């Protein structure tokens, strides 16, 4: 499979196509660090949820002339817990309501091992996913250390990551992403390097590498508070980030977004929409949408309430925001700087009728002197040091 992807300097504001995000809020068990809107998987609830989701998609009228859709992303939760016919019915609803490009990137998030399903049934599911148009698999590897996996409450082992990866390859998946988390409590720099080596040895097309974010109210936050687990160490996390850039880039991957790396041509087309200001339409509980201009909206977070609202022929939308000029400018800086090719200055001027230089002259000079940004006649972008300290840059500019 070859994926068409715009070059590093494509004009993001004239990108006409949109993405669709589908939220599936079920998991086999709850991970200790997770604060996503997910609940336990149960067949009957999943069935009712999928019918509500299909109704929402078919009745959707938020945008008069929606853009052609060229990415579909099944996220969650664990969307791979759905049956193939449920995935197919959601796709049919999407095709019914939207014009979908023939070469659309269609991603399914999966969990290695998937709850102890047998090898044979997993292999069969993978072939069926391909047959219904899924062409990218994104999986939550998180770490190749069994002790850390257990601590995170993950149900898979390091061996499951390798075997699931191989099964996906055997089935014919040519575009695979791993999510990995750095900065786990007690993780050492050597442990992180071993993780990177294990991931690079398998050579997925894409790597999303995140620093652990401890969210209030999660079991992990409580364990850290009670002293049961060590506090994440910010300096060590910084070293892990720098090591990650060096090792992953040396292996031939390009660092195209603060936390994302890909082999050439395998950038996530879907996630790039979030950073580049393209439209995306979200369906399911807690899904967010953006019309590509000034309107954002969000659905009810709770799955049961979401199903009830759809059943009453109501809209699941609970929040709407109209961006002011200032909001839109701040967002475009914050999101544009996440991409390592940065903000196209001419596009910025064409969109907002002002230049970044005229708005932030002194601040830009100070950030440049601190080695956090680079600016030339075409673009404003983060340096590698700026990517590590991106929050400091965002605090000044966005």
CA pair distance 64, 112, nearest whole angstrom: 40
Q: How far is the CB of 142 from ligand SF4 (least distance, A)?
A: 8
Q: How far is the CB of 303 from ligand SF4 (least distance, A)?
A: 13
Q: How far is the CB of 155 from ligand SF4 (least distance, A)?
A: 8
Q: Given the structure tokens 């938020």, which residue do they identify?
A: 62
Judged by CB, which is closer to ligand SF4: 32, or 315?
A: 32
Judged by CB, which is closer to ligand SF4: 63, or 224?
A: 224
Q: How far is the CB of 358 from ligand SF4 (least distance, A)?
A: 43
Q: How far is the CB of 302 from ligand SF4 (least distance, A)?
A: 15
Q: How far is the CB of 260 from ligand SF4 (least distance, A)?
A: 18
Query: If you write DSSP's letter for every residue of 260-293 in order, what string do you get?
Result: EEESTT-S-HHHHHHHHT--EEEESTT-EEE-SS
CA distances to 3, 171, 183, 223 from 135, rounded to whole Å, are 10, 11, 31, 39
Judged by CB, which is closer to ligand SF4: 28, or 341?
A: 28
Tokens of 129: 């996913």
Q: How far is the CB of 140 from ligand SF4 (least distance, A)?
A: 6
E-state strands within 125-175: 136-142
Judged by CB, which is closer to ligand SF4: 115, or 238?
A: 115
Under 8 Å between Cβ of 261 and 207:
yes
What does DSSP say about strands 206-211 and 176-182: parallel, antiparallel, or unpaired?
parallel
Judged by CB, which is closer to ligand SF4: 27, or 373?
A: 27
Q: How far is the CB of 41 from ligand SF4 (least distance, A)?
A: 10
Q: How far is the CB of 34 from ligand SF4 (least distance, A)?
A: 3
The CA-CA-CA angle for residues 114, 186, 178, to 5°, reads 35
Q: Given the structure tokens 């149900």, which residue do they identify?
A: 155
Q: How far is the CB of 79 from ligand SF4 (least distance, A)?
A: 10
Mention every residue, 6+ apart, whose C-beta is less than 8 A from residue 133.
Answer: 91, 104, 106
CA pair distance 9, 6, nearest whole angstrom: 8
CA pair distance 311, 115, nearest whole angstrom: 31
Judged by CB, which is closer to ligand SF4: 26, or 256?
A: 26
Which residues are bridge partners to 320 per DSSP?
297
Q: Given the structure tokens 């072939």, which residue do they identify?
A: 127
Judged by CB, which is closer to ligand SF4: 140, or 342?
A: 140
Q: Which residue ranges make up the site for ligand SF4 (CB under 6 A)? A: 27, 30-31, 34, 36, 38, 76-78, 111, 140
CA pair distance 367, 362, nearest whole angstrom: 9
Q: Report the Cα 126 to chain-centroid distance in Å.
A: 21
Under 8 Å between Cβ of 310 and 56:
yes
Judged by CB, which is closer to ligand SF4: 78, or 86?
A: 78
Which residues are bridge partners to 105 per DSSP?
71
Judged by CB, which is closer to ligand SF4: 27, or 196?
A: 27
Judged by CB, which is closer to ligand SF4: 66, or 284?
A: 284
Mention every residue, 6+ apart, whose C-beta is less than 8 A from residue 216.
Answer: none
């Amino acid at each position: 499979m070859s994926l068409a992807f715009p070059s590093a300097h494509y004009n993001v504001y004239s990108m006409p196509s949109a993405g669709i995000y589908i939220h599936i809020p079920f998991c086999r068990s709850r991970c200790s660090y997770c604060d996503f809107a997910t609940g336990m998987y149960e067949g009957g609830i999943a069935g009712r949820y999928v019918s509500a989701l299909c109704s929402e998609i078919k009745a959707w009228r938020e945008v008069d002339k929606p853009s052609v859709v060229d990415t579909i992303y099944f996220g969650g939760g664990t969307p791979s817990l759905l049956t193939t016919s449920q995935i197919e019915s959601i796709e049919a609803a999407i095709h019914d309501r939207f014009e979908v490009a023939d070469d659309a990137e269609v991603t399914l998030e999966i969990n290695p091992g998937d709850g102890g399903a047998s090898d044979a049934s997993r292999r069969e599911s993978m072939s069926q996913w391909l047959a219904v148009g899924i062409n990218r698999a994104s999986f939550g590897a998180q770490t190749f250390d069994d002790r850390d996996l257990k601590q995170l409450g993950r149900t898979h082992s390091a061996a499951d990551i390798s075997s699931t990866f191989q099964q996906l390859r055997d089935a014919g998946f040519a575009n695979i992403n791993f999510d990995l988390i750095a900065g786990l409590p007690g993780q050492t720099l050597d442990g992180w390097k071993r993780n990177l080596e294990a991931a690079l040895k398998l050579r997925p097309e894409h790597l999303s590498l995140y620093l652990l974010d401890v969210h209030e109210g999660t079991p992990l936050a409580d364990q850290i508070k009670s002293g049961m687990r060590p506090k994440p160490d910010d300096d060590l996390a910084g070293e892990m980030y720098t090591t990650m850039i060096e090792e992953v880039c040396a292996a031939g991957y390009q660092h195209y977004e603060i936390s994302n790396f890909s082999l050439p041509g395998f950038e996530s087309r879907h996630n790039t929409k979030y950073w580049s200001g393209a439209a995306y339409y979200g369906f399911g509980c807690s899904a967010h949408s953006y019309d590509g201009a000034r309107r954002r909206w969000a659905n009810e977070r709770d799955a049961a309430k979401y199903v009830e609202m759809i059943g009453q022929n109501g809209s699941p939308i609970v929040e709407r925001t109209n961006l002011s000029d200032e909001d839109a400018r701040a967002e475009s800086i914050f999101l544009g700087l996440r991409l390592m090719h940065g903000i196209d200055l001419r596009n910025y001027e064409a969109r907002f009728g002002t230049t970044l230089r005229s708005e932030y002259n002194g601040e830009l000079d100070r950030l440049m002197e601190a080695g956090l940004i680079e600016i030339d006649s075409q673009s404003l972008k983060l340096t590698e040091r700026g990517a590590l300290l991106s929050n400091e840059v965002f605090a000044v500019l966005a």
